[in-house]
Amino acid sequence: MEYYSSQINRLVEELSRLPGIGSKSAQRLAFHILNMPKENANSLACAITEARNNVRYCKECCTLTDDELCPVCKNSKRDHRTIMAVENTRDLAAYEKTGKYEGVYHVLHGAISPMLGIGPADIRLKELMVRLQNEVDELIIATNSSLEGEATAMYISKLVKPTGIRVTRIASGVPVGGDLEYIDEVTLLRALEGRREL
């Protein structure tokens, strides 16, 4: 990548380190940035620095936020006795977008994966157990429907059930609008197992 002058090269290099950005996209992005009004480029740079420097974990639910408490934990109208455990902040946002969930969250920052050497101590499980010592009615486990997500759900449920708190798992099955013929066998079997009376 020695085809541009040094500062342009450096920008292309920095951008190409981002996930999903190859060398061609990095060049396209770099020249887009170079052709931006100066204020816009500086505002982008400033958003990166400020977000990175100020972001921290919500002291209640461990999500990434820029305040001591995240907007959800701060909100007294939410049901603080229902906790949904998710793998990361993006999953939290996905449920927030539905606009229908009234409870609060707990962000685990990962899932247990013996393959990747991620054990129960590597995710924010200890923090969850501490929270469950307060008055909590239900723990909804909303980890992904992957091998790791399922293993994490099983592990947490075994850990929490003895405390008497209700532990539930989000349903897995055919996605709404999904066409049966294109859905994998495991999902089809899950949907069958999870069938309900009409």
Task: Provide the binding-site residues for a copy of itself, judged by CB under 8 A.
Answer: 3-8, 10-11, 13-15, 17-21, 25, 27-34, 36, 38, 40-55, 64-67, 70-71, 88-90, 92-93, 96-97
Q: Which two tokens stand for residue 98?
A: 């539905």
CA proximity to 165, closest of 74, 91, 103, 92: 103
What is the spatial distance between Cα 86 and Cα 12, in angstroms, rounded to a whole number? 34
What is the spatial distance between Cα 77 and Cα 95, in angstroms, rounded to a whole number? 17
Burial letters 157-170, b for 16+ CB under 10 A, else e = eeebeeeeeebebe
What is the spatial distance between Cα 45 and Cα 14, in angstroms, rounded to a whole number? 12
Those residues whose C-beta lies under 8 Å from the C-beta of residue 34, and which sit 6 or more positions away, are 8, 11, 41
Which of 14, 102 has the CB closer to a copy of itself? 14
Which of 11, 139 has the CB closer to a copy of itself? 11
Which of 96, 137 has the CB closer to a copy of itself? 96
Q: How far is the CB of 108 from a copy of itself (least distance, A)?
A: 14
Of the CA atoms within 13 Å of residue 67, those in its CB half-sphere come to: 6
Q: How far is the CB of 89 from a copy of itself (least distance, A)?
A: 7
Q: How far is the CB of 58 from a copy of itself (least distance, A)?
A: 9
Which of 16, 145 has the CB closer to a copy of itself? 16
Q: How far is the CB of 20 from a copy of itself (least distance, A)?
A: 7
Which of 69, 165 has the CB closer to a copy of itself? 69
Q: How far is the CB of 143 from a copy of itself (least distance, A)?
A: 17
Q: How far is the CB of 41 from a copy of itself (least distance, A)?
A: 4
Question: Which residues make beta-bridge pairs with 57?
Answer: 64
Which of 51, 116 has the CB closer to a copy of itself? 51
Q: Which two tokens stand for residue 189?
A: 């079997």
What is the spatial distance between Cα 134 and Cα 131, in angstroms, rounded to a whole number? 6
